[in-house]
Chain A
Amino acid sequence: MAADRRANWLKGVLDLLVLASLREGESYGYEIAKTLADGGFGQIKGGTLYPVLNRLEEAGLLAAEFRAAERGPGRRYYRLTDQGRETLAEQSELWLAFGESVRAMLTKGMRS
């Protein structure tokens, strides 16, 4: 039940977290998954991550470039577009305001 609830929370914010993980510069699938795991969101499976990356790319919020590797098959690198950066700023504010409202409601009347 607790895991289900967490998974549902994550579903609502994963696209924002992916955008945020690219704020510092370009990255690729596995590295984004690791960044999210290090951020405390647990292991995000590739089966969950790639559809989100595809959707963000289709929406023009991410730009992707495939680069062949000297050894091994190669990788797709993602970076934020200007539109992605704007969306991230705008949506982050909305999410933070929402988080504040949740916190205010959940802590209302609790003894500190």
Chain B
Amino acid sequence: MGDNGVRDAYFTDLAARLRERGVTEERITATIDDLATYLSESGTDPEEEFGPAADFARRLCADDEAAGDAASAPASGTWKWTADIFIDQQRLNEFGAQGWEVETVDKNGMFVSRRDPERPQRWEYRREVVRPARRAALAESLAPDGWEPCGTWWYYAYFKRPLAASVGPTAEVASPPPAPRARLFLSGRYYLLAACTIILLVLAAVVIGWMLDSVTPIEILDYAAGAVVGAAVAFAVGLWVILRNRDS
């Protein structure tokens, strides 16, 4: 294959990779044209100049991925996830051992994590319960041990520490596993709590119905239908609030 053949094959591959990542056709054409002009001036080989097409496409779209959902989580880069309060520390340390560094906790309570694509380091995490006014003092008291704040959620404050601070270069993750596709981790205790809450709500509805019925007779089917519709409306409103926050 001649020089032009190599370039054409590279750009065809790159265009396909960009397309897979949802880049518009107009942008792909402009990008390829610009890069072709670059190569005509530099006189270099495309792979030598830009690196392998798949990797280059990923880096060109790095910000889009950071903003996108983790269903298409990259092997490295940013990953947003969350876990319930019963297992968050355990999960943080598990993913910290895979090289994930939490940069912040966003307003939806998601851990915004990053992993260095070249030299991922292990991280340790801890969670403290603290009033907002006491956060700075707490951070100051933990700082001598190498802990730095990495996000807050209500009264919970999260801290991280690079393992390199205590074990040196061996803290580097030799072969990091791929980024998990999931973004929500719930424990058995969480499901148990949710089930208990639902049972309590149903019991409360039954008791209220029984009390109403003792005052003035009610149609049990109408009452049950009203309770189900009320629960569905509350669920829909809650879901709408969550989704609206997520989109904004």
Contact = CB atoms under 8 A, between A and B. Distances in A.
The reply to whether chain A is a binding partner of chain B is yes
Contact of B56 (A33, A47, A75): A47
A74 B60 contact: no
A69 B50 contact: no
Contact of A54 (B33, B42, B60): B60
A73 B38 CA distance: 10
Contact of A51 (B33, B35, B41, B60): B60
Interface residues on B, range: 20 to 34
B55 to A, nearest CB: 8
Contacts of B48: 45
Interface string B26-64: 000011111111111110000011110000100111111
Contact of A30 (B33, B41, B60, B62): B41
Nearest to A31: B41
Contacts, number: 65
A76 interface: yes
Contact of B50 (A46, A54, A75): A46
A66 B27 CA distance: 9
Contacts of A75: 33-34, 37
Interface in A35-69: 45-47, 50-51, 54-55, 58-59, 66, 68-69
Contacts of A73: 32-34, 36-37
Contacts of B62: 51, 54-55
A109 interface: no
Contacts of A51: 59-60, 62
Contacts of A33: 42
A67 to B, nearest CB: 10
A24 B30 CA distance: 24
B63 A30 contact: no
Nearest to A72: B37
Given A45-B49, A45-B50, A66 B56 contact: no
B74 to A, nearest CB: 13
B30 A30 contact: no
Given A50-B56, A50-B60, 20 more contacts: A28-B34, A29-B35, A30-B38, A33-B42, A45-B50, A46-B50, A47-B50, A50-B50, A51-B59, A54-B60, A54-B62, A59-B63, A66-B33, A69-B37, A72-B36, A74-B30, A74-B37, A75-B33, A75-B34, A76-B31
5 contacts: A30-B37, A46-B39, A50-B59, A66-B34, A73-B32
Interface of B: 30-42, 48-51, 56, 59-64
